[in-house]
Amino acid sequence: MSRERARRRAEREAEQARQAALRAERRARSARRRERLDRLTAPVAAVLPRRGVRIAGQRGILARRRRAQNGVVAVLFLIVQVIAWLLVSSWAARFGVLVLSLLLVPVLVTVAFDRRS
């Protein structure tokens, strides 16, 4: 009976040692991979925020209103561009509408949404 228990214990310990060796190998491989990735991304990491750090967006009524206004402006800009592409066949005129739209959007946003006046 004690020989049988000793044999099973030896098998268990051998299996545990094998599992520990596999875990150690995985950890070492992961560490090597992480090291390679850190070496590749080190120049970029100096510029970008750390991984996992969230940059919180603005909340509240004013932020929601601003997002809604920006959405309306973007949709209207796209509608103007689609209409210009459908109605005008000249590439120069299409480009002119694009440039004119890009120049007039800030003016119209200021006139329509400015709260200072």
- Chain segment 11-25, per-residue pLDDT in tens: 999 999 999 999 999
Tokens representing residue 18 in the block = 């094998």
Residue type, 93: A
Q: What share of the chain is helix, strand, coil (3-state, %, to 5)?
A: 80, 0, 20
Q: Which residue has the higher pLDDT, 117 or 78?
A: 78
pLDDT at 33: 93
pTM of the full predicted structure?
0.49
Q: Find the mean pLDDT for residues 1-6.
A: 87
pLDDT at 12: 95
pLDDT at 13: 95
* Mean residue pLDDT across the chain: 87
CA-CA-CA-CA torsion for 110, 113, 81, 101, nearest 10 degrees?
Answer: -10
pLDDT at 101: 94
pLDDT at 117: 56
- For the chain, how many helices (H) and strands (E)? 3, 0
Residue 109 CB: number of other CB atoms within 10 A? 14
- The string of pLDDT tens digits covering residues 24-66 is 999 999 999 999 988 887 777 777 766 676 667 778 888 888 8
Write the DSSP symbol of residue 48.
Answer: S
Residue 97: pLDDT over 80: yes
Residue type, 80: V
The ranges assigned to domains in the chain are 1-55, 61-113
- Residue 98 in 3-state DSSP? helix
